[in-house]
A = this chain, B = another copy of it.
Amino acid sequence: MDTNVTRDGGPLTGYRIVDLSQVLSGPAATMLLADQGAEVIKVEPLTGDITRKLGVGGDAMSTFFLNANRGKRGIALDIKTKEGSEVVSRLIKTADVLVQNFRPGVMDKLGFGLDSVRALRDDIIYVSISGFGDQGPYANKRVYDPVVQALSGLTEIQADAEDGRPRMVRTVIPDKTTALTAAQAITAALLGRARTGIGQHVEIAMLNATIAYLWPEGMVNQTLVDDDREPVFGQPVKELIFKTQDGYITTGAMSDKEWDGLCRALDKPEWIIDPRFKTTQLRFKNAQERLAATAAIIATKTNEEWLARLDRFAVPCAPVLSRTEMLTHPQVVADDIIREYEQPGLGRVRQPRSGAKFHGVAETEPPVAPLLGQHNAEVLSDLGYSQVEIDRFAATKVISG
C-alpha cells in the first residue's frame, strides 16, 4: 500500500477556471482539469452551449454535453448586457484562468480582450483556443473538425490504399487533441506562474496542435528537408485486422521471437525458416503474401480459439470490439475504467475515468454536469450580489430564470 499520498481532490485543487468556451475543444480541456480538482465555472449564453441539444439525450442536456462538461458548475447569462458583463468581470477577478474559444476578435468586442481582462486580474492565465490562431489567411475562417483534418494531412494518412482517395477519420481528432493540448498548456502555465508570478497568454490553434500530434510517426517522410518521400504507404500501422469464423481479431509480430510464436500458433512452423519471412525486413517486404496467408488461416477458427492459441505462444493479440462490447470487456472492468452514476436531466450514465490515475486522490462525488444556469444564485451570491439583485437579473433576462 502506497502511503505517500495526498488526500485531497486532485493536483489542481485550489485553482478556479472561468470557462466561456463552447462545443468541444475548450470544454473537454476544462473537464479534464475539473477531474483533477480544479473548480471550473462554465459560463453559458441564455440559450445554453449549443451541444446541450446535440444528438442523444433529454431537454436539459445531451450525452455529448455531459461528456465534455462533467464536474463543472454552470451559470447562464447574457454577456452583452451591462449587468451580465459585470458578473463576468467580477468572476474574472476571482479566477486563475480564463478559457475561451471564440473566433479572433470576438472577445475584444465583448469587452474581454487580453488587456481588459489583465486590468481586472493582472496575473490571470488567458487562454485563446482557435482554429488557426490570429494570423494568416485562415485566421477568420469558420472552422470545423473536417477542415483541420483536410489541411493537416490526416486525410492523406487515412487514404484508401487501393485508389489513394483521401478519407476522414471518423472521430474528431483535431478537436480532442486540441483539448488535451490546451489542458496540458493551462497546467504548465499555472506551474510557470507559481514560479514567476506572471500569468501567461496561452494560444492553442487546432491546426498547429493537430500537425504536432500527427508528426512523430505520421511525418517521418517529411522530416528531412532535402529528402522528401512519397508517404502514402510509409505508415507503421498496417491494417492488422483479421476475420475469424465469428468476428474479428488483431494480431501481429514485430520481433523474431513473436514471429516464431505466431508461426507456431498458426500451425505453420515451416514459415519460421521460410526464406521469404526470415527477418523483419523480409517480412515487411513480403507483407502482402504473409498477411494474405495469415488471413486465410485465421478465417478457419473462432475469435476465442485464436486468442487462446496466440496468448499461449505470447503473440500480441486482441479481439476487435464494438464500443458496446468494450464496456464490459474484462480488462476494462478490472481496471475500473468506467463509472456509472445518476446525472440529473439524463438518468443513469456511464463516464470513463480520465486518462491518468493519481494515487491517493480521494473518491469524489459523481462528477455531474450542470443544468443550464444551475449555479446562478450560488455563484452570484459568492460574488457579492444580493438575492434582490439576483431576482432582478432573472426577471430581466440578464441570467437564466
Main secondary structure of the interface of A (DSSP, over half): mixed
A350 touches B172 (CB 8 A): no
Binds B, one of A85-93, A141-149, A285-293: A141-149
- If A67-B217, A223-B63, A331-B207 touch, whether A252 touches B146 (CB-CB below 8 Å) is yes
- A200 touches B (CB below 8 Å): yes
- Interface contact A240-B146, CB-CB below 8 Å: yes
A sample of 25 inter-chain contacts (CB < 8 A) reads A12-B192, A13-B192, A55-B236, A56-B224, A57-B224, A64-B217, A136-B331, A142-B258, A150-B320, A155-B241, A155-B320, A156-B320, A158-B170, A171-B214, A185-B356, A185-B358, A202-B358, A202-B359, A205-B355, A207-B337, A208-B357, A209-B356, A215-B351, A218-B323, A222-B350
Number of copies: 2
Asked if A349 lies at the interface with its beta carbon under 8 angstroms from chain B, I say: yes
CA separation between A185 and B136, bound complex, in Å?
33
Which of B207, B243, B252, B350 is the one whose CB lies under 8 Å from A144?
Answer: B252
The 5 A-B pairs with the shortest beta carbon distances in the complex, nearest first, are: A136-B334, A11-B192, A209-B355, A185-B356, A181-B355
Assess whether A221 is interfacial by the CB under 8 Å rule: yes
Q: Are A150 and B349 in contact (CB under 8 A)?
A: no
Residues of chain B within 8 A (CB-CB) of A329 are 151
**A401 interface residue (CB < 8 Å to B):** no
- Whether B12 and A335, one on each chain, are in contact in the complex, defined by CB atoms closer than 8 angstroms, is no
In the complex, the answer to whether A353 meets B208 with C-beta atoms within 8 Å is yes
Do residues B195 and A13 form an inter-chain contact, with CB atoms below 8 A? Answer: yes
Q: Which residue of B lies closest to A315 (CB)?
A: B142
Please determine whether B55 and A220 come into contact, CB atoms closer than 8 angstroms: yes
Q: Which residues of B contact A158 (CB under 8 A)?
A: 169-171
Partner of A212, one of B231, B352, B360: B352
Which B residues touch A400, using CB under 8 A?
Answer: none
Q: Judging by beta carbons under 8 Å apart, are B191 and A335 in contact?
A: no
How far is B219's CA from A68's CA once the two chains are assembled, in angstroms? Answer: 12
Residues of B within 8 A of A316 (CB): 141-144, 147
A182 to B183, CA, bound (A): 11
- Whole-angstrom distance between the alpha carbons of A41 and B234 in the complex? 30
Q: How far is it, in angstroms, between the C-alpha of A173 and the C-alpha of B338 when the chains are bound?
A: 20
Interface string of A171-191 (1 = CB under 8 A from B): 111001110111111011111
Residue in B36, B180, B188 whose CB lies within 8 Å of A213: B180
Q: Which stretch in A2-10, A72-80, A267-275, A390-398 binds the other chain? A: A2-10
Interface set, chain A 239-279, CB cutoff 8 A to B:
239-241, 243, 248-250, 252, 254, 258
Does A62 interact with chain B (Cβ within 8 Å)?
A: yes
Our pick among B187, B225, B355 for the contact of A187 (Cβ within 8 Å) is: B187
CB-CB under 8 A from A333, the residues of chain B are 136
A122 to B185 alpha-carbon distance, docked (Å) = 27
Interface check A296, CB cutoff 8 A: no
A354: Cβ under 8 A from any B Cβ: yes
Q: Taking the complex as formed, is A162 at the interface, i.e. its CB lies under 8 A from any CB of chain B?
A: no
Q: Report A123-151 CB contacts with B as 1/0, cut-off 8 Å.
A: 00000000011011111011111111111
Contact digits for A22-64, partner B, Cβ 8 Å, 1 yes 0 no? 0010001000100010000000000000000011110000111
Expressed in whole angstroms, the minimum distance between the Cβ of A265 and any Cβ of chain B is 14
Besides A11-B192, A136-B334, A144-B252, 19 other CB < 8 A contacts?
A2-B114, A63-B220, A63-B223, A142-B316, A147-B250, A151-B329, A170-B239, A171-B218, A176-B216, A180-B180, A182-B356, A185-B358, A194-B194, A205-B335, A207-B337, A208-B337, A224-B349, A225-B347, A226-B348
